[in-house]
Amino acid sequence: MTSSPATDAAASLIADLIGHGVRDLVLSPGSRSQSLALAAMHFAREGTLRVHVRIDERVAGFTALGIARETGVPVAVLCTSGTAVANLLPAVMEAFHAGVPLLLLTADRPPELRRVGANQATIQPGIFDPWVRTAIDAAVPGDGEWTGLAGLAVAAAMGASVENGLPGVAGPVHLNLPSREPLSGVLPEIEVSPGQAPRPPAEEPLLLDRGPRTVVIAGADAGPDAEEIAHTGSWPLIAEVVSGARYGRQVVHGYRALLSDDDLGGRIERAVVFGHPTLSREVARLLSRSDVDVIAIRRGGEAMNLNHRTRAAASVSIEDGAPDRPWLGAWLEASAAAAVDLSERAPDQDGLASADFATRRDAVKAELDAVRRPLDRELLVDAVWRATWPHDRLVFGSSRLVRVADAVLGGKKVPVHANRGLAGIDGTIATATGIALASQADGAPGVTRVLLGDLAFLHDVGALLLPPDEAEPRLQVIVGNDGGGTIFDGLEVAASAPRADLDRAFYTPHTVRLENLALAYGWEYQRVTTRTALDQVLTTPYGGRQLIEVPLAR
């Protein structure tokens, strides 16, 4: 076998990506992308690249998204030409809105085979333009070189490049890579030196005075910076459960009702926003108020500006001075009164040991009732929250359960992820798989738990398929199965639509047997109906993939 321009260019590009900090590549098989896939496999054997293979491009895109969410480093996703490219779009849109660095390597036909009816040829250049930091339709190897593309792509994906007008903001980048046959050949000898992805230059933080009555809002992907600013400023922290910032003394419980309270929410003069808040209309109303000074820390591809006067900042700092303790105290007092306690009562030891038959009988009955207590949504989210610790990862799907969790769960410092850039239900299991693979790399401990509803689960069922020759992550997929999309029961449509139309077009009931799906895809399956059983399943050590079904009432 001889060399080919396609093979030479592919090997050089993959090696250059590794040199610029890329450590993971997710690929789906295809003919037109074969030179790139074979180069990736070569470097995987050498130990300089981790390659993950998925037969479904949509699953591949969200798997790459999950890895990049966890690591903060660009992840490459490689596919062949044609409809394969279009299947990456949902993950690309989420990455854009959430500020996650992705590198889209899409193989293509050469220009002479475009727009002439050639097989598997479509209009790929520009297909992702509204959602990418940079898009490059590369030259065909032999007509031009791919040299330098890797550095440009990684810098743009990390927000280190200013040519896209968004310095400091990460996101997806599209490299469309056409080639002519022969598509395979002998790989050239290339020395690879793994490097680091460039970070955007640090900007001066916006200095905040302590005067206005301020709250800190932490939306999805806010992270610990939100808690740190709330702590430093002695300001109330309104942290969504998906923020990764719901911990510390300043966390406000029951924030939705308190934001609607004129004595608290009505007196807010300034809001400092981290991440992307999406879980409550009360927060959206606050950030839309023209009388509130909103400062949003840049994160995703669209700047937050609900009140059309929001100021953007890369970061903030707080001037020295005395905090407004009465303001914080009023919030914390109201928060303490609004906190939800879902913990079980301690056993009645005196009653259980009583010599009086009736007293002992009542104590035993109370214990049996506690053990047999059926699960509802509040107990389900509480059990998963309590079982998760800092070395674990928790992923929420865009289902009814995340809103229940946001309403009832207390503070806890655990790493939380969710695809809330667009709050779609697609790709949840694939994203969680990517997070698990990244967080457990190199033997790191922990379990990744994903909590979602049955429709979000079924929407991504293809992500259950993993190659038998890849490492099996420790992953628990917990499905609250109420037989359909019950989130619509709480929306306006439930009050206006005929019940039959609501059920068929929105609730979409199903009779899928999740146990059979688990068996088909090689997952361990558990069906639990009580809190005690769920606690045991969540905390019993297991080394692989578990599907845990929790039946719920509509």
200-227 tens-digit pLDDT: 888 889 999 998 999 999 999 999 999 9
Q: How far apart are CA 549 and CA 475, in angstroms?
A: 14
**Are 385 and 529 part of one and the same domain?**
yes
Tell me the two tokens of residue 413: 């410092």
Mean per-residue pLDDT, 496-501: 80
456 pLDDT higher than 80? yes
| CATH code assigned at 245 | 3.40.50.1220
**Are 262 and 301 part of one and the same domain?**
yes
Query: One-letter amino acid identity for 24?
Result: D
pLDDT at 359: 67
**Are 542 and 496 part of one and the same domain?**
yes
Tell me the two tokens of residue 437: 């693979």
Within-domain flag for 83: yes
What is residue 353's DSSP assignment?
A: T
pTM, whole model, 2 decimals? 0.93
| CATH code assigned at 49 | 3.40.50.970
Mean pLDDT lowest among 24-38, 359-373, 403-417: 359-373
Of 289, 322, 338, the position where a domain reaches its end is 338
Q: How far apart are CA 306 and CA 450, in angstroms?
A: 31
Structure-model confidence comparison of residues 539 and 346, the more confident one: 539
pLDDT at 352: 63
pLDDT at 329: 96
- Per-residue pLDDT tens digits for 380-421: 999 999 999 999 999 999 999 999 999 999 999 999 999 999
Q: Which of 312, 275, 279 is closest to 296 using CA atoms? A: 312
**Are 149 and 298 part of one and the same domain?**
no
Question: In the beta sheet, which residues pair with residue 50?
Answer: 24
Within-domain flag for 256: yes
36 pLDDT higher than 80? yes
**Are 458 and 351 part of one and the same domain?**
no
**Are 356 and 392 part of one and the same domain?**
no
- Per-residue pLDDT tens digits for 91-131: 999 999 999 999 999 999 999 988 888 888 899 999 999 99
What is residue 147's DSSP assignment?
A: T
User: How does residue 199 score in pLDDT terms, banded at 50, 70 and 90?
Assistant: confident
Within-domain flag for 267: yes
**Are 310 and 391 part of one and the same domain?**
no
Q: If you average pLDDT over every residue of the chain, what do you get?
A: 91
User: How does residue 362 score in pLDDT terms, banded at 50, 70 and 90?
Assistant: low
Mean per-residue pLDDT, 344-352: 64
473 pLDDT higher than 60? yes
pLDDT at 164: 53
Contact status, residue 51 vs residue 226, Cβ threshold 8 Å? no
Among positive and negative, which fits the CA dihedral 239, 242, 246, 252?
positive
**Are 359 and 422 part of one and the same domain?**
no
Within-domain flag for 52: yes
Within-domain flag for 194: no
- Residues of the domain holding 348: 342-366
Mean per-residue pLDDT, 366-379: 74
In Å, how far are 195, 410, 548 from 536, measured between CA atoms?
43, 21, 12
Contact status, residue 384 vs residue 377, Cβ threshold 8 Å? no
∠326-330-336 over CA atoms, to 5°? 140
Number of folded domains that form the chain = 4
User: How does residue 368 score in pLDDT terms, banded at 50, 70 and 90?
Assistant: low
Q: Which of 419, 402, 209 is closest to 322 using CA atoms? A: 209
Q: Which phi and psi (to 5°) does residue 102 adopt?
A: -130, 145
Within-domain flag for 251: yes
Contact status, residue 67 vs residue 75, Cβ threshold 8 Å? yes
Q: How many CB atoms lie within 10 A of CB 153?
A: 31
369 pLDDT higher than 60? no
Q: How far apart are CA 78 and CA 11, in angstroms?
A: 14
pLDDT at 496: 77
Contact status, residue 59 vs residue 427, Cβ threshold 8 Å? yes
Within-domain flag for 113: yes
Mean per-residue pLDDT, 135-146: 94
- Per-residue pLDDT tens digits for 151-190: 999 999 999 875 555 667 899 999 999 999 998 888 888 8
**Are 267 and 142 part of one and the same domain?**
no
pLDDT at 10: 96
**Are 346 and 333 part of one and the same domain?**
no
Within-domain flag for 394: yes
Per-residue H/E/C for 382-419 = HHHHHHCCCCCEEEECCCHHHHHHHHHCCCCCCCEEEC
- Per-residue pLDDT tens digits for 253-267: 999 999 999 999 999
Mean pLDDT lowest among 2-6, 33-37, 238-242, 368-372: 368-372
pLDDT at 509: 86
269 pLDDT higher than 80? yes
pLDDT at 372: 63
**Are 161 and 55 part of one and the same domain?**
yes
Give the CA count within 13 Å in the CB-facing half-sphere of 146. 28
**Are 380 and 454 part of one and the same domain?**
yes
Mean pLDDT lowest among 255-259, 369-373, 481-485: 369-373
Report which secondary-structure segment, H or E, holds 77.
Answer: strand 75-79
pLDDT at 47: 95
242 pLDDT higher than 90? yes
59 pLDDT higher than 60? yes
